[in-house]
């Protein structure tokens, strides 16, 4: 595909603007909660023992009360604390760009827009929730946060946020990534976090696993179990999660709110809004504010969640109650799932290797508000390379899934001879994922 679309220099200047930026004064003041506007409420999380809806008290072992209340709220707009907004302004509002060179390469009548979240200090959308999570923990008197990370995007974001609020941060990083992908580990350590390869010798669970298999590569499920054990053993420690939960989706909605304003500046209305999905948070962030208008103003906006075929919870999984982790320690959540014991193939989009899906995203799909599609990674990297060669930014392998779907929408518009306005979320850059480009460029990529 890349070879097929050689970009030729066009000898006329661009007639319409391509970069849409908002002043600091237009940073959103509230997060938007889709739970307030669903025509029917999503089923509640259940206590695995009693099978009754989890209570606020049940969750206090892991999270501070202010965040548990936020997790359960059906309030439509939640005010963003001033301290959080001040830190957001380090990289927000983020730019919206029109991908005119990609449009030309595709020779499509479609207009392609992308919201760029890669300009945050950690290089992805994840600090949008890491910062408020650290803030609320700090406000509740918590001294230390424990978490897990796979490839390191979440661990790095939380390490930064903890540093900014004076909290200690302990990250259990999946062992194979710890050794094979040292750069995000070094980011975490630079920001002052303590990082252990998981399974680690810091927990009973980890020590037991190490005794059985001293060179275990680890898994996200194991790392979650270690972070939870750490949290339950220490009075001043709480746990933090980078995706899936309602409050995480909530925090990400600054993305879509800004995008709505910026599309107005561009004088266009997206026909389709696209995001990649691992646990569902960056997709929720860009899409939920558009879904609000779809529900309240009866707009026809399509909303599309894109996942890898190798870990396709929305298109291949079942909608049922399941655990969020492999060790079965979390509440049961009603979500699209491949099963809590599903071990996804080692695709390069590490952030999309999660067996489940955010309950809010699952519910939106169930109600027909959102669609889902899945792509194999060879197709995804073709689109990623085309994007890098036309727009310049090297995308992370995860948002490359959204780019692939956007390219296909643009090509369909071309076939149909119709204009179509497409918006996608470019939720992170790929500068620390160049090893996956090495595999692509060397023809060593398989579909897993
Ligand atoms: C973590 C991550 C994802 C997947 O998580 P979501 O909650 O689905 O957004 C996608 N892209 C990037 C860049 C990530 O860091």
The verdict on 241 and 199 lying in the same domain is yes
- What pLDDT is stored for residue 407 in this prediction? 98
Contact 96, 263 (CB under 8 A): yes
**Integer Cα distance of 406 and 341 in angstroms:** 32
**Integer Cα distance of 363 and 365 in angstroms:** 5
User: What's the CA-to-centroid distance between 79 and ligand 1, angstroms?
Assistant: 24
Closest CA to 243 of 176, 308, 148: 148
- What pLDDT is stored for residue 12 in this prediction? 56
How many alpha carbons lie under 13 Å from residue 309 in its C-beta half-sphere?
A: 11
How many alpha carbons lie under 13 Å from residue 13 in its C-beta half-sphere?
A: 3
**Integer Cα distance of 9 and 366 in angstroms:** 45
Choose one of 246, 264, 289: the last residue of a domain. 246
In a domain, 415, yes or no: yes
User: What's the CA-to-centroid distance between 353 and ligand 1, angstroms?
Assistant: 10
For the chain, the first-to-last Cα distance in angstroms comes to 20
* Residues sharing a CB contact under 8 Å with residue 335, sequence separation 6 or more, in sequence order: 244, 313, 319, 320, 322, 356, 357, 358, 359, 362
Q: Are strands 96-98 and 168-174 parallel, antiparallel or unpaired?
A: unpaired
- What pLDDT is stored for residue 341 in this prediction? 86
β-bridge partners, 19: 97
The verdict on 181 and 222 lying in the same domain is yes
The verdict on 116 and 24 lying in the same domain is yes
Question: How many domains in the chain?
Answer: 2
In a domain, 39, yes or no: yes
Give the residue-averaged pLDDT of 24-38: 98
User: What's the CA-to-centroid distance between 126 and ligand 1, angstroms?
Assistant: 7
Torsions phi, psi of 124, nearest 5? -150, 180
Omega cis (within 30) before 132: no
The verdict on 291 and 396 lying in the same domain is yes
CATH of the domain at 165: 3.40.50.1100
pLDDT at 141 over 60: yes
**Integer Cα distance of 291 and 302 in angstroms:** 9
**Integer Cα distance of 94 and 258 in angstroms:** 8
Q: In Å, what is the CA distance from 8 to each residue of 4, 12, 108, 388, 403?
A: 12, 12, 14, 15, 21
Ligand 1 atom 3: the closest Cα is on which residue? Answer: 351
Q: Quick one: what percent of the chain has pLDDT higher than 70? A: 97
pLDDT at 448 over 90: no
Choose one of 246, 275, 305: the last residue of a domain. 246
pLDDT at 5 over 70: no
Domain with 337 in it: 2-9+18-28+92-124+252-441
In a domain, 86, yes or no: no
The verdict on 67 and 167 lying in the same domain is yes
Closest CA to 358 of 284, 257, 256, 306: 284
The verdict on 319 and 215 lying in the same domain is no
The verdict on 153 and 292 lying in the same domain is no
Torsions phi, psi of 392, nearest 5? 95, -50
The verdict on 325 and 205 lying in the same domain is no
Q: Chain centroid to CA 237: how far? A: 24
In a domain, 328, yes or no: yes
User: What's the CA-to-centroid distance between 324 and ligand 1, angstroms?
Assistant: 16
Question: Using a 6 Å cutoff on CB, does residue 277 contact ligand 1?
Answer: yes
Give the residue-averaged pLDDT of 378-403: 97
Calculate ∠ Cα 209-215-220, nearest 5°.
Answer: 60
- What pLDDT is stored for residue 309 in this prediction? 96
The verdict on 118 and 173 lying in the same domain is no
In a domain, 87, yes or no: no
Structure confidence at residue 1 as a pLDDT band (50, 70, 90): low
The verdict on 138 and 280 lying in the same domain is no
Contact 426, 118 (CB under 8 A): yes
The verdict on 294 and 411 lying in the same domain is yes
User: What's the CA-to-centroid distance between 398 and ligand 1, angstroms?
Assistant: 7
Burial class of residue 237 in the structure, from the number of CB atoms within 10 Å of its CB (0-12 exposed, 13-18 middle, 19+ buried)? buried
pTM: 0.96
**Integer Cα distance of 282 and 427 in angstroms:** 7
In a domain, 325, yes or no: yes
Q: Which atom of ligand 1 is nearest to the CA of 281?
A: 7
In a domain, 448, yes or no: no
The verdict on 113 and 176 lying in the same domain is no
In a domain, 422, yes or no: yes
Question: Using a 6 Å cutoff on CB, does residue 356 contact ligand 1?
Answer: no
User: What's the CA-to-centroid distance between 354 and ligand 1, angstroms?
Assistant: 10
Structure confidence at residue 326 as a pLDDT band (50, 70, 90): confident
Question: Using a 6 Å cutoff on CB, does residue 279 contact ligand 1?
Answer: yes
- Tens-place pLDDT, residues 407-431: 999 999 999 999 999 999 999 999 9
Contact 423, 263 (CB under 8 A): yes
Choose one of 246, 265, 283: the last residue of a domain. 246
Question: Using a 6 Å cutoff on CB, does residue 307 contact ligand 1?
Answer: no
- What pLDDT is stored for residue 3 in this prediction? 53
């Amino acid at each position: 595909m890349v070879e097929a679309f050689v970009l030729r220099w066009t000898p006329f200047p661009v007639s319409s603007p391509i970069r849409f930026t908002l002043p600091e004064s237009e940073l959103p003041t509230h997060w938007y909660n889709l739970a307030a506007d669903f025509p029917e409420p999503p089923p509640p999380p259940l206590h695995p023992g009693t099978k009754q809806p989890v209570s606020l008290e049940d969750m206090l072992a892991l999270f501070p009360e202010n965040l548990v209340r936020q997790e359960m709220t059906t309030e439509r707009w939640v005010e963003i604390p001033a301290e959080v907004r001040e830190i957001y302004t380090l990289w927000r509002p983020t730019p919206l760009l029109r991908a005119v060179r990609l449009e030309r390469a595709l020779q499509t009548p479609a207009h392609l827009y992308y919201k760029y979240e890669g300009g945050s200090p950690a290089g992805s959308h994840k600090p949008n929730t890491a910062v408020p999570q650290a803030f609320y923990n700090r406000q509740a008197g918590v001294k230390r946060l424990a978490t897990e990370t796979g490839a390191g995007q979440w661990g790095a974001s939380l390490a930064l946020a903890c540093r900014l609020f004076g909290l200690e941060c302990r990250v259990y990083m999946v062992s194979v990534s710890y050794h094979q992908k040292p750069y995000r580990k070094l980011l975490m350590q630079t920001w002052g976090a303590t990082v252990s390869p998981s399974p680690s010798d810091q927990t009973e669970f980890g020590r037991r696993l190490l005794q059985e298999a001293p060179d275990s590569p680890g898994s996200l499920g194991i790392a979650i179990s270690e972070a939870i054990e750490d949290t339950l053993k220490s009075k001043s420690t709480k746990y933090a999660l980078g995706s899936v939960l309602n409050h995480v989706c909530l925090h990400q909605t600054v993305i879509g709110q800004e995008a709505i304003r910026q599309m107005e500046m561009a004088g266009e209305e997206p026909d389709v809004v696209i995001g990649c999905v691992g646990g569902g948070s960056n997709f929720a962030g860009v899409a939920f504010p558009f879904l609000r208008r779809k529900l309240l103003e009866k707009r026809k906006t399509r909303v599309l969640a894109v996942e890898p075929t190798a870990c396709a919870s929305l298109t291949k999984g079942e909608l049922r109650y399941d655990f969020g982790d492999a060790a079965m320690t979390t509440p049961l959540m009603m979500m699209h799932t491949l099963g809590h014991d599903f071990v996804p193939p080692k695709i390069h989009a590490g952030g999309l290797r999660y067996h489940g899906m955010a309950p809010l995203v699952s519910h939106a799909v169930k109600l027909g508000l959102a669609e889902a599609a899945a792509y194999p990674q060879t197709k995804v990297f073709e689109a990623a390379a085309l994007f890098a060669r036309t727009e310049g930014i090297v995308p992370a392998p995860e948002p490359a899934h959204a780019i692939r779907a956007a390219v296909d929408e643009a090509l369909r518009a071309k076939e149909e001879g119709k204009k179509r306005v497409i918006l996608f979320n470019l939720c992170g850059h790929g500068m620390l994922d160049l090893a996956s480009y090495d595999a692509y460029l060397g023809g060593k990529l398989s579909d897993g």
